[in-house]
Amino acid sequence: MAQRRLPNFIFEYVDSGAEDERTLAANRSAFDHWRFVPDALVDCQQRDLRQPILGGISACPLIVAPTGYNGMQRDKADIKLAQAAEEIGIPFTLSTVANSTFEDVARATPKGRTWLQLYVMQDRAITENLLARAKDAGCDTIVVTVDAVHYGNREWDRRCYRDGMSLNLRNKLDALMHPRWFWDVMVPGGVPTFANIAQYMPQGQARADNGAIFVARQMDARLNWETLAWLRDRWPGNLVVKGILSAADAQRAVDLGAQGIVVTNHGGRQLDGTIPALDALVDIAPVCRDKLALIVDSGFRRGTDIVKALCLGADS
């Protein structure tokens, strides 16, 4: 459905992984290693999917993960995702590089639970201001991404561009062949902006294409455990560390006082050749059980995938 609706350059951004996409494929094949041994004759008339997650009750063990550039796929997509999460009764995570502000999303979902995903910038004033805005808007959880201080080498995605963020001729023509997308996304206001961080960028440079360059330059490549301790001291709410793949790092997150971790390889979009998140979960779960919220992503497609992750120790 997405491939039919979206121009090729946007679909490649959504669909592609890093380099040879081995990790992207491994995330799916990892589920094949595990088989159910179901108990027979169990009363299944009453079923309850509710799950406690970081001080709240989620209607089911699901969280909408943070994704950037949503506004390039559909107008006001961040708000629509948040509204869908509110309707279902699950948390929604807004990306630092969202196309809607945290404040706008919070206003649109007064009964929802919106978390802020945080990319730590070299300019600490930006990070501190983002934390203050999230707190003022009623956010109780920040999700700090630690596996993306450099953009992944997404070769399929890169092939759409001539240089920088300038589309090649083939993809410019292809975009014109998708009038429904053009009318929905481009007509209302042109290329969407990185609304969440627009105020920190040079005037007139907040469009998503320019914003990607700004974020790449601002991303703090020195991000380390001391930085997380600095964040822990400044953020009074839940701190979730996103990008953990080893039991040793999971233990460090516990020692730091984090309330949760996300076991993930960034959906196979960052470093190709990493282990699948589900395999990492097997080693990490014993370290974290009853100590923090254990969240996992990458490769999930259906309900039985989720059940396997819960059986292996994940909370959501």
Q: For residues 313 and 290, is the Cβ–Cβ distance under 8 A? A: no
User: Considering Cα of 189, then 192, then 197, then 198, what sign does the dihedral take?
Assistant: negative
CA distances from 85 to 64, 109, 136 (A): 7, 9, 21
Quote the CA–CA distance of 282 and 301 in Å, as a whole number: 19
Could you confirm whether 266 is annotated as catalytic? Answer: yes
Nearest CA-CA partner of 29 in 239, 305, 314: 305
Catalytic residue (one of 33, 150, 178, 266): 266
Q: What SS3 class is residue 236?
A: coil
Q: For residues 214 and 201, is the Cβ–Cβ distance under 8 A? A: yes
Residue 50, judged by CB atoms within 10 A of its CB (0-12, 13-18, 19+), counts as exposed
What DSSP character marks residue 271? S
Tokens (6 digits) for 235: 């953020």
Nearest CA-CA partner of 126 in 193, 232, 201: 201
The packing angle between helices 277-288 and 247-256, to 10°, is 40
What does 278-301 look like in DSSP terms, one character per residue?
HHHHHHHHHHHTTTSEEEE-SS--
What amino acid positions are annotated as catalytic residues? Answer: 266
